Amino acid sequence: MDEPGRTLKEGAMSRPDSTLFPTGGTRYSDYLARSTLRSWVGMSFLSATLIVILGLLVSWSVTYLAGGADNLVPHLYYVPILIAAARFGPGAALIVALTAGILAGPLTYVDVAAGTAQETERWLTRTAFFVGIGQLMAWLVIPALTPVTEELRRMRQEFDIRRGLRHNEFFLRYQPIYSSRQRRFVGVEALIRWQHPVHGELTPVDFLDVAEGSSLIHDIGKLVIAEACRQTEDWKTLAEAQGQEPWYTAINLSARDLIRPELAYDVASALKRHHLPPELLTIELTETVLALEDAEPALEALNHLGVQLAIDDFGTGYSSLAYLNRFPIDTLKLDRQLVSRLDHDPSAEDLARGIVLLASSLGLKMVAEGVETQKQVELGHDLDFDLMQGFYFARPLRSDEVPALLLASTADQDLRPPASFRPNGKTPPTE
Ligand code: C2E
Ligand code: MG
Ligand code: MG
């Protein structure tokens, strides 16, 4: 488990384009047309080019053997033209149609040798038909190409994620969370990363959307639960050996994780395996999860286990206050966008103040995330946020960078962690 990152959020819930295979009442002919289209589009550039060339050669040979171009056989040329149109679009269709026109016309060896070469008009008419049909096909196929290409991109990415999971390329980074009252770090948020063999370290924005469109998000969820608990136990042992309070770990789960029936069981068995008290684990969920009808039993089960539940990115989207009472929530995380407006937009400050009041009257903890500047930290203290998290304090760290911070974090320490705890030792902005 190791390394740094960027950001994601919106779109994490979006589903893949399913227009290709509508669920209800799809006719077999539609299915056949679409799957044929999909195999053409999915074919590699080289294979498709070779098939087109082969199609032209076969058409020419059959025409030759059939005695020349002046019969029905030249219709075979439509096959490579249509393939080129479907795979490469109108430009390629035009080239292949013109080539077919030349091959099928007066240049056909048999016609010339037999003295039956077609007249120029017939040759031109045939070529015009080839071009026309090729362009019509390209025009018909192009609107369907985008979803097909998008679906194939997703399929390839799913395959790659599956391979990455098999090769243990996914790992967690941990971003420390600072307690305003205790003036020390009290927890971490685990953030998934993918050490891709070709593209380097990827952040959730690069793969979570695709994973959430398939069952892969369950594998990622299981991995995160197991690895975060394993790591939390290590740090708990370390903290206890130093006579310090253990840190809690917050993990992110997606909506699809929440409706997985074994979720509570997985969490319970990971806590048990690592001898962790449940309050050392916080599960962060976005507001959209709470709008799901099936969410309530899962949330109740998690609450029953004793783990903490947090609403991530609160204060944007469609923050509905109704669910704050309905669901067993412990923490609100103020959205990064709102926090970033705090130091220059009075209305953002008013809104944040209102949310803090609301949280305190409901007995909820408040976390400000995405804190980047000294001014935001001061406002955070002023607004009485319980916890703060952001690049001002530390970026998401590799697991091996965390113990130094854990051991250095004593009560009343300086607000800023030593520079070495920030990536590249950079000093964070002060304004
Ligand atoms: P989030 O849970 O709201 O996590 C905070 C994101 O903001 C993280 O991006 C973090 O690197 C970034 N961040 C933290 N402090 C600052 C700051 O001061 N300034 C700026 N500009 N950004 C900051 P990351 O790691 O790319 O994660 C993005 C989102 O992906 C997370 O948003 C979370 O919703 C999702 N995610 C991350 N890990 C997991 C996971 O293991 N499972 C699931 N289902 N979702 C995850
Ligand atoms: Mg989060
Ligand atoms: Mg967030």
- The tens digit of pLDDT for each residue in 362-396 reads 999 999 999 999 999 999 999 999 999 999 999 99
Cβ–ligand 1 contact at 8 (below 6 Å): yes
Check residues 291 and 396 and name the one with the higher pLDDT: 396
Per-residue pLDDT band at 1 (split at 50, 70, 90): very low
Give the percent of the chain with pLDDT over 70: 80
Residue 212 has a pLDDT of: 92
26 has a pLDDT exceeding 80: no
21 has a pLDDT exceeding 60: no
Q: Which atom of ligand 1 is nearest to the CA of 7?
A: 26
- CB 68 within 8 Å of CB 108: yes
Angle at the Cα of 397 (from 394 to 400), degrees rounded to 5? 130
Per-residue pLDDT band at 411 (split at 50, 70, 90): very low
Give the percent of the chain with pLDDT over 90: 51
Per-residue pLDDT band at 66 (split at 50, 70, 90): confident
Q: Give the domain ranges of the chain.
A: 43-158, 169-421
Residue 372 has a pLDDT of: 95
Arithmetic mean of pLDDT over the chain: 82
> What does residue 249 show for φ and ψ, rounded to 5 degrees?
-120, 130
Query: Is the Cα dihedral 393, 235, 219, 263 positive or negative?
Result: negative
413 has a pLDDT exceeding 60: no
Q: Which of 259-273, 320-334, 364-378 has the lowest mean pLDDT?
A: 320-334
Per-residue pLDDT band at 69 (split at 50, 70, 90): low
Distance 369 CA to ligand 2 centre (A): 9
Pocket test for ligand 1, best of 1, 7, 312 (most atoms within 8 A of CB): 7
Q: Which of 44-53, 104-113, 413-422 has the lowest mean pLDDT?
A: 413-422
Nearest CA to ligand 1 atom 16: 370
Count Cα neighbours of 384 within 13 Å in the Cβ-side half-sphere: 10
Pocket test for ligand 1, best of 177, 252, 342, 385 (most atoms within 8 A of CB): 252
Q: Which atom of ligand 1 is nearest to the CA of 391?
A: 18
Task: Return the bridge partners of 202, or none.
Answer: 194
Cβ–ligand 1 contact at 282 (below 6 Å): no
318 has a pLDDT exceeding 70: no
CATH of 169-421, one of 3.40.50.300, 3.30.360.10, 3.40.50.970, 3.20.20.450: 3.20.20.450
**N-terminal to C-terminal alpha carbon distance within the chain:** 33
Cβ–ligand 1 contact at 405 (below 6 Å): no
- Distance (Å, rounded) from C-alpha 158 to C-alpha 154? 6
Average pLDDT for 234-239: 94
85 has a pLDDT exceeding 70: yes
403 has a pLDDT exceeding 80: yes
Distance 358 CA to ligand 1 centre (A): 24
